[in-house]
Amino acid sequence: MRHGTTMMTATLLTSLLAIAPMTAGAQSKMDQAKDKAKSTTEEAKTAVSDSWITSKTKIALFADDRVKGTQVSVDTKNGVVHLRGKVDSNAAKTAAGEVAKGIEGVQSVKNDLQVVAPTARKAVDASDKDIAKAVESKVHRDTQLKKVDVRADGGVVTLTGEVPSIGASARASEMARSVPGVKSVKNELAFAK
């Protein structure tokens, strides 16, 4: 009887030792999967924060009357904002850089804006009523911007209402700024919950 118990214990012990490396291998694969998930999550956070920074920068540029926001292209990668396009003066170029640096989350700004004097640009003096109507018409073509209200005062357009995302908010600013006669855009849009 004693010999059978010893044999059974030895067999059980051998089985456990054979399973142990497999368990360690499974644990290692689980750790690798966790690391990959963490890495993917970090990449997604960076992408979201980069697009957030780009949108916030665009909104701020459209709101600043020193910079013509439609002349500035904004891209962000790993917190570095890259400004490209043409502006009217060195002051506008400097102002665009300052605006971008003031956005939360910006690590640095690469300012590749070119200064081009406005030689053949015609000044458009439109009434506030015409400006508001033109902005409203343009903005309401986008289904995500149907709840945007538009006011104009002295060429300054104020956007109020609700939009679904920061990207939609930036689009609304961009559309408004592209309307002739608009000097700057105040974006007071809220995000729908």
Residue 40 in tokens: 């993917």
| pLDDT at residue 66, rounded to an integer | 86
Q: Is residue 9 part of a domain?
A: no
Q: Is residue 46 part of a domain?
A: no
| Domain of 136, in residue numbers | 122-193
Q: Is residue 174 part of a domain?
A: yes
| pLDDT at residue 127, rounded to an integer | 82
DSSP secondary structure letters along 21-57:
HHHHHHHHHHHHHHHHHHHHHHHHHHHHHHHHHHHHH
Q: How confident is the model at residue 8 (pLDDT cuts 50, 70, 90)?
A: low
Domain containing 191 — which CATH number? 3.30.1340.30
| pTM beyond 0.85 | no
Q: Is residue 180 part of a domain?
A: yes
Q: Nearest CA to 181 among 137, 120, 125, 118? A: 125
Q: Is residue 126 part of a domain?
A: yes
| pLDDT at residue 2, rounded to an integer | 54
| pLDDT at residue 183, rounded to an integer | 86
Cα–Cα dist 193/191, whole Å: 6
- 129, amino acid identity: K
Region 54-63: mean pLDDT is 90
Region 145-151: mean pLDDT is 94
Residue-wise pLDDT tens digits, 82-97:
998 888 888 999 999 9
CB-CB neighbours of 176 under 10 Å: 30
Report the number of distinct structural domains present in the chain: 1
Q: Is residue 144 part of a domain?
A: yes
| pLDDT at residue 146, rounded to an integer | 92
Asked whether the beta carbons of 160 and 173 are under 8 A apart, the reply is no
Q: How confident is the model at residue 23 (pLDDT cuts 50, 70, 90)?
A: low
CB-CB neighbours of 71 under 10 Å: 19
Q: Is residue 173 part of a domain?
A: yes
| pLDDT at residue 18, rounded to an integer | 56
Task: Work out the angle at residue 50's Cα, subtended by the Cα atoms of residues 46 and 52, and round it to the nearest 5 degrees.
Answer: 115
Q: Is residue 159 part of a domain?
A: yes
| pLDDT at residue 46, rounded to an integer | 58
Residue-wise pLDDT tens digits, 117-144:
665 444 444 588 899 999 999 999 999 9
